[in-house]
Amino acid sequence: GMSRGDMRVNYELEDSFCYPTSMMRIEEVCASIVRSHRETSQYRLEELQALRWKLFSREEVHAYQSKSMDEMWQYCALRLTDAVQYVVEFAKRIPGFRQLCQNDQIVLLKNGSMEVVLVRMSRAFNTENNTVFFDGKFAGTELFKSLGCIDLITAVFDFAHSLCALRLTEQQAALFSALVLINSDRPCLEERGRVERARKEVELALSHTLHRDNQDGLIHKLYQKVSVLKSLCNLHIEKLRWFRQQNPLTVHSLFPPLYKELFA
Ligand code: MHQ
C-alpha cells in the first residue's frame, strides 16, 4: 500500500503543479538576492541599531574638520571604496548578474555601485539626528566640512533621510539594490537583451515581495528614487573632477585604484 511518506511526496508534486513554474523561479530569485545582500551587507542591521547613539564628540568632529581637504578626500575615498567592494561582492553573488558577460558586469558596476552604496547608506543612517555611521561612530554633515563640497554631502544626507522614510525591510532593500544595479539603460552594454531579461526578473521579484508585504504602493516611490540616485552620482563625479583639478597628484598616486577606475 501507500505509506504516509509517499503521500507527502504526492502532495508536494501537486503543490508544484498548482504554482506556475515562473512563480517558483521568482521565489528563487528573491531568495538568492536577499541572501547575497545579507552576506555582503558590511554591517548587520542589529549592529547598527545598537550603535546608533554613539556619536562623535565635539573634539573628534573638530579633528575631522581640521584635516586638510586633501587628507579628508583621501580618507573618504578609502571608506567609500571599502563600501563599493562589498557591493561588487553583492553583485557577483546574484545569479542573473554573474551570468552576464564580463564587459556588461563592468559597465553595470561602473554605473551602479555608487548608487547601491547610497541605497545602503539608509541602513546606516539615524533619521532622529541626521547622522550616518562613518569610521566607527555616527557623524552629521558638519563632520565632512573640510571636503569643501557641503552641497553634495547635504544632498546625500537628504536622500538617505527620504529613503529611510519608506521604511524598507531588508528584503525590499536587497531587491531594490539589485534593481538599481541591473539597469539595462546603461550605455555601452554588449548584450542589452540579456540585461533586460535579468532586470525583468528582479522587477518581478520586487513587485512580488511588495505585493506579499501589502505594500504595492511602494513601487512607484522606489522608481522615483532612481532618478535622484543618478543625479547624486553625477554630482559626486563632478566634485571629484573639481577636486582633481586642484590636487591632481593626490588622486593619481594616493587614491585607491578601484575608486579611480570607477569614478575618475
Ligand atoms: C556602507 C558603509 C558606508 C561607508 C562609507 C567626497 C567623497 C570622496 C565622498 C560611507 C562623499 C562623502 C561614505 C564615506 C560621504 C557621502 C561618504 C564618505 C553604507 C554606506 C556608507 C555609510 C557610506 C555613505 C557615504 C559616505 C558617508 O555599508
CB of residue 120 inside a 6 A radius of ligand 1: yes
- Of all protein residues, the one whose alpha carbon is nearest to atom 10 of ligand 1 is 80
pLDDT over 50 (residue 242): yes
pLDDT for position 9: 47
24's grid cell: 517558483
- Give me ligand 1 centre to Cα 121, in Å: 7
- Give me ligand 1 centre to Cα 208, in Å: 31
Q: Which atom of ligand 1 is nearest to the CA of 123?
A: 19
For residues 153 and 140, the answer to whether their CB atoms sit within 8 Å is no
pLDDT for position 21: 56
CB of residue 107 inside a 6 A radius of ligand 1: no
**In 3D, which of 107, 131, 117, 113 has the Cα closest to residue 187?**
107
Q: How confident is the model at residue 7 (pLDDT cuts 50, 70, 90)?
A: very low
For residues 201 and 29, the answer to whether their CB atoms sit within 8 Å is yes
Q: What CA–CA distance (Å, rounded) separates 6 from 11?
A: 9
pLDDT for position 24: 76
**SS3 readout for 190-214:** CCHHHHHHHHHHHHHHHHHHHHHCC
Strand runs (DSSP E) across the chain, as ranges? 125-126, 131-134, 137-139
Give the mean model confidence (pLDDT) for residues 237-254: 96
pLDDT over 50 (residue 209): yes
pLDDT over 60 (residue 74): yes
CB of residue 179 inside a 6 A radius of ligand 1: no
Give the mean model confidence (pLDDT) for residues 24-35: 93
Q: Which atom of ligand 1 is nearest to the CA of 133?
A: 22
**In 3D, which of 102, 106, 74, 68 has the Cα closest to residue 88?**
106
CB of residue 243 inside a 6 A radius of ligand 1: no
- Give me ligand 1 centre to Cα 263, in Å: 14
CB of residue 61 inside a 6 A radius of ligand 1: no
Q: Which of 45, 87, 121 to mutate to test the pocket of ligand 1 (most atoms within 8 A of CB)?
A: 121
Per-residue pLDDT tens for 226-236?
Answer: 999 999 999 99
- Give me ligand 1 centre to Cα 237, in Å: 14
pLDDT for position 19: 54
- Distance linking the first and last C-alpha atoms of the chain: 71
Which amino acid is located at 210 in the chain? L
CB of residue 251 inside a 6 A radius of ligand 1: no
The helix/strand/coil state of 48 is helix
Q: Which atom of ligand 1 is nearest to the CA of 139?
A: 27
Q: What CA–CA distance (Å, rounded) separates 138 from 117?
A: 17
Complex-level ipTM = 0.98
Please give the radius of gyration of the chain, using alpha carbons only, rounded to the nearest integer. Answer: 21
Per-residue pLDDT tens for 98-128?
Answer: 999 999 999 999 999 999 999 999 999 999 9
What mean pLDDT is reported for the chain? 93
Per-residue pLDDT tens for 146-202?
Answer: 999 999 999 999 999 999 999 999 999 999 999 999 999 999 999 999 999 999 999
Q: Which atom of ligand 1 is nearest to the CA of 120?
A: 19
- pTM greater than 0.90 (yes/no): yes
